[in-house]
Structure 1
Amino acid sequence: MAITEVRGWPVGETLEDLIAYATAQGAEGYAVHQVRVCRCADCGGQVFGVTGDVVEGAVRRTCRGCGAEHFIADSGEYWADITPAVMVCECGGDADGDEEDFNVAVGYSVYADGEGIRALAVTSRCVACGRLGYWADWMVRGGELHLLDLA
C-alpha cells in the first residue's frame, strides 16, 4: 500500500506504511537507518496502548493482547522522574471509544561507522483509522546498540 492523506493527516494501511513513515520522519533531525516494528516479547502482539513524556523522551507500550508493559529503549531509566500522558488519536479510538490502539515503530539513526545510535524516534499507526503519527524522539549519542532490541 501507500501512505495517503486524509483531512491533512498521513494515513497508512499496513505495517510497511508505518516503516516508510518512520524512515521519512527521521530522528532529532537525523536520517533513520533502521526501523524496528514493536512486538510484544511475551505474546508476539503488535497492538499497544502507549504512554510517555514527549519532552523528556520516555515511552512505554502496553500490549493489548496480554497486558505486558515494555519500555522503549532506555525509557525505564527515566520513568520515575516523568509525568506520563496517554497517547491519543484524533479519531477517538475504537468504536466503543474506551481504548486507543496503535502499531508502534522505532526509527534509529546510527552513526556512519555503525558503532552506536545517534538518536531514535517513536512513531505510530492508529489501528482504528490508520493515522500515522510521530510521538517522541531523543538523542542517544552513544554506543548503546543494545537499544535496537528494545523497541
Structure 2
Amino acid sequence: MISEVGGWPAGENVEDLARYAMDQGAEGYDIHEVRVCTCAACGQQVFGVQGDLEERAVQRICRGCGAEHFIADSGEHWDAMKPAIMVCECDGDSDEEDFNVAVGFSLYANKTGVRAIAVTGRCLACGRLGYWTDWMVRTGDLDLLDLA
C-alpha cells in the first residue's frame, strides 16, 4: 500500500512500486505496462542505480551478482555520458543506496510499439518511491519491453 512518509510517497514492496510507476505516466502519456526489474543472471530485484538524467539514460547494477544492465536504449550512447550514482534523501551522506527499480512503458494504440519510457525506484532503506526520468522512444520497438 502506498502511503506518505515525511511528505514523500512510500511503498512496502515491489507491487507498490509498480502501482506508483503506473500512476506517474511517461512524457505526459499513460503507462500501459510496468516491468519490475529483475536481474537476468541471478533473479535478484535489488540494484544500485546510476544514470545521466539530462541525457535520459539509466543503468542498474545487481546487488546480488554485480551484473550491469542498461534500461531500454540507455546503452547506445553511454560512453559519452556523465553518469551519477542515484541516492535517496533518507541517507543524507550521498552514499549509494539499494533500490527496487520499475520501468513504465507507454504504448502506441493496439500495442504496436513503445511510445515513451519512465524509470522509477523504491529505496529499500526507507521505502520512498521516486521518479527518476522519462523519455520518448522514437522507434517504438516492442523489444524494449524486455530491456527494463
TM-score, normalization: structure 2? 0.96
Can you give the 5+ residue segments of structure 2 that lack an aligned partner in the other structure?
none
For the Cα contact (< 8 Å) 2:86–2:96, is it kept in 1? no
After TM superposition, give the deviation of residue 99 of structure 1 in Å. Answer: 3.6
Distance 2:50 2:142 in 1: 24
Q: Aligned pair 1:35/2:34, yes or no?
A: yes
Distance 1:134 1:13 in 2: 16
Structure 1 runs, 4 residues or longer, greater than 6 Å off: none
Q: Secondary structure at the match of 1:65?
A: coil
Distance 1:116 1:142 in 2: 8
After TM superposition, give the deviation of residue 92 of structure 1 in Å. Answer: 1.4
Residue 105 of structure 2 aligns with which residue? Answer: 108
Identical aligned residues as a percent: 71
Residue 88 of structure 1 aligns with which residue? Answer: 87
What is the total number of aligned residue pairs between the two structures? 148
Residue 147 of structure 2 aligns with which residue? Answer: 150
Distance 2:96 2:139 in 1: 36
After TM superposition, give the deviation of residue 113 of structure 1 in Å. Answer: 2.2
Q: Could you list the per-position Cα deviations for residues 85-108 of structure 1 after superposition, in whole angstroms to 9, with x for gaps in the alignment?
A: 110001118xxx854000000000
Can you give the 5+ residue segments of structure 1 that lack an aligned partner in the other structure?
none
The CA RMSD over aligned residues, in Å, is: 1.5
Q: Secondary structure at the match of 1:5?
A: strand
